[in-house]
């Protein structure tokens, strides 16, 4: 049987993210002699490494047809919680464990309410975003929590074989969850729910349980990110991770995850985040105004949503 050849238009639509990424890199390389240096490229990867762990959970949630606007606030609460545990002289291992468990409980609440009460995840997580951020600021008085043992910084500051530990953590988490999403019944159930929730339920999938578990996993990954951020900056900051919900959503969408659910890959998300990271880095190198950077990021997300919609229609 002869394979149908892809038209130039179809090829461009299918690979538009990679094409735009390549063009952007070429433009930045000619615009700034600092862009293609090994130091700058490593900086970009390190800058997205912690955020990319949060993006794993966000991608999984979007695949189920939901959204989580509270991820940045959970990271902030995890950050200050970890710092406060460390200041209380709790062993580092237990401080990390308690932080991740607390984060998981938040996911249990948001996922449980969304799945059991059939409420829209946008509204549930919007409310939690405000409440959790407020809680982080309340228990710290709005100030960073510092003063714990500086050796805690080794968790994020070290290298292994010349590769930053943060990059290694990112690679490990992605390897684990790419396997889970591709080769396990849980991963298949996640896609099935996003594709058609009622069909998934009729096929025997416990929709409420899977949805709740996805939110729990996402929140626990936010807890891990909060711990790594605390280790990296040597303090727990109640204002940290502000706007991460938009960056991780952008990474997922640009990477091909369908906002309607049922489609998307974690490999696409990491490429999408790399796109956002390179865009941000490039704007800094070119001296783009901070406010204008937000405008450009917003337009990129807007464009990604439109392209996502066009791609879906062309495949129909």
pLDDT tens readout for residues 147-198: 999 899 999 988 888 889 999 999 999 999 999 999 999 999 999 999 999 9
State the pLDDT at residue 228: 98
Q: What is the pLDDT of residues 261-296, one digit of tens each?
A: 999 999 999 999 999 899 999 999 999 998 898 898
Tell me the angle at which helices 165-183 and 185-195 cross, rounded to the nearest 10 degrees: 70
Q: State pLDDT tens for residues 140-159.
A: 999 999 999 989 999 998 88
- Percent of the chain at pLDDT above 70? 97
pLDDT band at 4 (very low <50, low <70, confident <90, very high): low
CA 50, CA 166: separation in Å to the nearest integer? 7
Q: What angle do CA 56, 58, 64 make, to 5 degrees?
A: 110
Asked if residue 231 lies in contact with residue 152, where contact means CB atoms within 8 angstroms, the answer is: yes
Report pTM.
0.93
Q: Provide the pLDDT for residue 5.
A: 73
pLDDT of residue 1: 47
What are the tokens at 212? Answer: 């709740």
What residue ranges do the domains of the chain occupy?
Answer: 47-273
Contact 186, 176 (CB under 8 A): no
């Amino acid at each position: 049987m002869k394979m149908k050849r892809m038209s130039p238009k179809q090829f461009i639509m299918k690979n538009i993210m990679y094409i735009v990424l390549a063009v952007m890199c070429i433009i930045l390389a000619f615009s700034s002699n600092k862009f293609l240096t090994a130091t700058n490229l490593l900086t970009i990867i390190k800058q997205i490494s912690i955020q990319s762990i949060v993006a794993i959970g966000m991608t999984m949630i979007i695949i189920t047809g939901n959204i989580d606007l509270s991820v940045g606030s959970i990271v902030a609460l995890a950050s200050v919680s970890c710092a406060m545990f460390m200041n209380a002289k709790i062993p580092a291992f237990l401080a990390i464990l308690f932080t991740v468990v607390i984060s998981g409980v938040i996911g249990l609440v948001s996922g449980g309410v969304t799945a059991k009460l059939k409420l829209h995840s946008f509204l549930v997580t919007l409310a939690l975003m405000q409440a959790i951020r407020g809680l982080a600021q309340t228990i710290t008085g709005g100030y960073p929590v510092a003063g714990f043992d500086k050796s805690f910084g080794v968790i994020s500051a070290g290298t292994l074989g010349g590769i930053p530990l943060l990059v290694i953590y990112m690679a490990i988490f992605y390897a684990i969850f790419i396997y889970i999403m591709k080769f396990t019944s849980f991963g298949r159930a996640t896609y099935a729910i996003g594709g058609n929730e009622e069909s998934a339920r009729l096929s025997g999938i416990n929709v409420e349980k899977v949805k709740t578990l996805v939110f729990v996993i996402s929140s626990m990954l936010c807890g891990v990110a909060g711990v790594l951020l605390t280790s990296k900056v040597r303090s727990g900051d109640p204002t940290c991770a502000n706007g991460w919900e938009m960056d991780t959503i952008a990474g997922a969408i640009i990477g091909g995850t369908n906002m309607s659910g049922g489609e998307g890959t974690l490999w696409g998300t990491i490429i999408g985040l790399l796109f956002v990271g390179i865009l941000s880095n490039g704007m800094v190198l070119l001296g783009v105004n901070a406010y204008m950077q937000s405008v450009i990021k917003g337009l990129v997300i807007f464009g990604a949503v439109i392209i996502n919609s066009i791609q879906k229609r062309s495949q129909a």
